[in-house]
A and B are shown apart, each in its own frame.
Chain A
Amino acid sequence: MMKRLLAIGLILVIGYWLANGLAGVPFGEDRMLVGQYYLDNVKQQTGAINAVTAVVVNYRGFDTLGEVTVLFIASTGVGALLWRRKKERTAEVEGSVVLTTGTKLLVPFVILFGSYIFIHGHLTPGGGFPGGATIATAFLLLYMAFTAYEIPHKGFEKTEGVAGMSYVLVGLIGLAIGGYFLFDWIWQTWKIGTVGELLSGGFIPVIYMLIGIKVGTELSGIIDNMIKEGVSE
């Protein structure tokens, strides 16, 4: 009881302190120092309509490369910690016919929609991370509905690696052509596409496709690792 009261008291003090700090940042006031620059120049400099993806992939692409790495570490870490020589699914109850049939019908559509999201990252809300997560839900569905389903491991791991390497390679090509790492050579040097059409946005769609594939395979791999149990030989 005493402990709980103390904790509540402490949280209130911290909350008050934080609120005090937040009060110094008035809501809704114009704080667009760098932000205004992005809004003013995004179309002409990156060829993308979606300012968020342009900032995330192009202006601050370094962060996104880092985030992709964080996800990669998460899936590698889960893989390392749950590693067993032999693992099997231990699910016992097969889904009902309605569930299995529904899943069979649904999976291609989910994958199609996921791909749509990451291919149109520079035009519509979304991008590689939501698209990849959507694709992973398709595999989650398969795992939930069928007791025997397994993703093709070897292929998935290799695809994940290749997608990540290609992202870095795109950046290195930028270093070779434009002199800067992650330089958008497709838009800045070659000027391919018209703003607003599918073929535009420089390397944003290319990178988002890679991220989509990578995130999709990674999350599926995490699900696979967590859902299986080691069996003694």
Chain B
Amino acid sequence: MNGQYASLLIALPLISAFFVPLLKGAGKKAVGYFLVVVTALQAVIATLVFQQVYDTGKPIIVMAGGWKPPVGINLYIGHFAALFVLIVAVVSFLVAVFSLRAVKVEPIDKYAMLLLLLMLGATGMIATGDIFNLFVFMEITSISAYALTAYNKTGEAAEASMKYIILGGIGSSFFLIGVALIYGSLGTLNMAHISELAWTMNPTVAEVGLALIVFGLAVEAEIFPLNAWAPDAYQAAPHPVTVMFSAFVVKAGLYAMARIVYLMKDLWNWSSILRLLVILATLTVIVGELAALRQRNVKRMVAYSSISQIGLMALAFALGTEAGVDAGVFHMVNHAIVKTLLFLGVGYVALTLGGTGIENFRGLGRRMPVTAFSISVGAVATVGVPLFNVFWSKVRIILATLDVGYTWAAVLVLGASVVEAVYYFRLLHTMWFGEGGERRDESLTMGLIMLLLALLVIAIGVYPDYVWNIAQKAGNDIFNVAQYVKNVPLMGVGA
């Protein structure tokens, strides 16, 4: 089957977002349901793409305008992109369902547009095969994220968004300078073409360009010194938006970083860049966990925990070995599921009981048993207890780290996991053994969604092999650059 239909992954959310102003007259309800329908359609297309890629084992190359790369822009939907586009679409669908209940603040039509465009941006970042196009999609993602962060119009939200917008603005300007340097020295923007020519680059230019690009993406990917915006933004954003941030916006940034770093494999000082990333990633884990320990606000606590998990993925990608990349991708998948579950649960509690302070969670086990159960599964899984999915990916990451010889990094990360256990079990204790108020009714849809996710967490925990196989294929997509370059039908230009 012709793979060009995969361009609908971009076209559908776009045309739907542009359609919302025309729909506005039909009322609030209509906008909400429209959002659900569009995200469901996106999930269907993503499933088709996923099936095709995994059945044939060949990536889908979408050539925009019919121009062959590097003259035109291509989307590269390989194993990794197919998997994550599916995750993005499914999480967006769950978020859309949750939004029906969670977002009552006006103007709802603008919220729907921004949500669709955030999904579009993340999809594009993951799928694109062109470095400038990556910048455009990154802008789409981050600008809609700025607006959504401030959507609640409280002072806190405005401040969080302000921090984010300034850091993000500086980050993307650096990214753009990096792209300009690389284009200036190679004369091409296509990722496969860049990778082919990388060895001809002047080493200083390559170093500066790559450093700028990594720096720019690190803001989106929440790597240590540049992630100060994240906890505030997670806390202040509307609850459904927080789910999206944690489940895929960060991962799109992280993936883009890993992709570009691995494209430049042939550089002479590649290993020193990796070493820097290992240090930053380890710091991200430690700082995130220690900050989470002191939080009295559960949403903020989970946000810090999410950041430290991202650090763990960054560590896996920075190892520079196949085992590391595979483990990183596996952890990305697991983390997406677990954090969707946790943020949905916490958001739902906040909606029902009013607020995310720890006092609202006291005795939750008796007040909202289903939600409490789901949050507990998520919390236990995040810590990395055996028979839950995160256990397997954490083990793989630690093993891969030890393999390369970074014993100190492995020890520090493991130590941080102990800290993580402390605050998650403290939360569990408050939820199940605290004095509680009266019983609350729980919504059937939300309960079902959370239970389904919890079931998925346990299912992957008990039978990790299926997902591990997928993750290995997806990891190979990033690690095996030679195969990547071969898959892109470059036309001979200039050479």
Contact flags A64-89 to B (C-beta < 8 A → 1, else 0): 01110110111011011101010000
Do residues B494 and A32 form an inter-chain contact, with CB atoms below 8 A? yes
Segment touching A, from B88-96, B184-192, B396-404: B184-192
Least Cβ–Cβ distance between B275 and chain A, in angstroms: 18
Interchain CB contact (< 8 A) of B143 among A77, A157, A158: A77
Which residues of A29-53 have CB atoms within 8 Å of chain B's CB atoms?
31-38
* Set of chain B residues within 8 Å of A72, measured between Cβ atoms: 17-18, 113, 117
* Set of chain B residues within 8 Å of A36, measured between Cβ atoms: 493-494
Interchain CB contact (< 8 A) of B71 among A32, A34, A66, A174: A34
Least Cβ–Cβ distance between B56 and chain A, in angstroms: 18
Interchain CB contact (< 8 A) of B65 among A33, A58, A74: A58
In the complex, how many residue pairs between chain A and chain B have their CB atoms under 8 Å apart? Answer: 189
A70 vs B382: C-alpha distance in the bound complex, in angstroms? 35
* Set of chain A residues within 8 Å of B259, measured between Cβ atoms: none
* Set of chain A residues within 8 Å of B146, measured between Cβ atoms: 77
Contact flags B176-211 to A (C-beta < 8 A → 1, else 0): 010001001111110000000000001011011100
* Set of chain A residues within 8 Å of B73, measured between Cβ atoms: 60-63
Segment touching A, from B47-55, B134-142, B228-236, B332-340: B134-142
Do residues B207 and A21 form an inter-chain contact, with CB atoms below 8 A? yes
Question: Is B424 positioned at the interface, with any CB of A under 8 Å from its CB?
Answer: no
Do residues A181 and B65 form an inter-chain contact, with CB atoms below 8 A? yes
* Set of chain B residues within 8 Å of A178, measured between Cβ atoms: 66
A80 vs B143: C-alpha distance in the bound complex, in angstroms? 13
Contact flags A199-225 to B (C-beta < 8 A → 1, else 0): 000000000000000000000000000
Least Cβ–Cβ distance between A108 and chain B, in angstroms: 27
Judged by DSSP, the binding face of A is helix
Question: Is B358 positioned at the interface, with any CB of A under 8 Å from its CB?
Answer: no
A169 vs B15: C-alpha distance in the bound complex, in angstroms? 8
A21 vs B5: C-alpha distance in the bound complex, in angstroms? 41
Assign chain B's interface to a size class. Answer: 35 or more
Question: Is B124 positioned at the interface, with any CB of A under 8 Å from its CB?
Answer: yes
Interchain CB contact (< 8 A) of B136 among A25, A63, A157: A63
Do residues B64 and A181 form an inter-chain contact, with CB atoms below 8 A? yes
Judged by DSSP, the binding face of B is helix
Question: Is B437 positioned at the interface, with any CB of A under 8 Å from its CB?
Answer: no
Assign chain A's interface to a size class. Answer: 35 or more
Question: Is A109 positioned at the interface, with any CB of B under 8 Å from its CB?
Answer: no
Contact flags B115-132 to A (C-beta < 8 A → 1, else 0): 001001000100000101
* Set of chain A residues within 8 Å of B444, measured between Cβ atoms: none
Do residues B65 and A62 form an inter-chain contact, with CB atoms below 8 A? yes
Interchain CB contact (< 8 A) of B144 among A58, A73, A165: A73
Question: Is A137 positioned at the interface, with any CB of B under 8 Å from its CB?
Answer: no
Which residues of A154-196 have CB atoms within 8 Å of chain B's CB atoms?
157-158, 160-162, 164-165, 168-169, 171-172, 174-175, 178-184, 188
Do residues A62 and B147 form an inter-chain contact, with CB atoms below 8 A? no
Given contacts A18-B208, A25-B205, contact A179 B66 (CB under 8 A): yes
Do residues B494 and A33 form an inter-chain contact, with CB atoms below 8 A? yes
A63 vs B120: C-alpha distance in the bound complex, in angstroms? 13
Residues of B within 8 A of A (CB): 2, 4-5, 7, 10-11, 14-15, 17-22, 24, 62-67, 70-73, 106-107, 110-111, 113-114, 117, 120, 124, 130, 132-133, 136-137, 139-140, 143-144, 146-147, 150-151, 153, 177, 181, 184-189, 202, 204-205, 207-209, 493-495
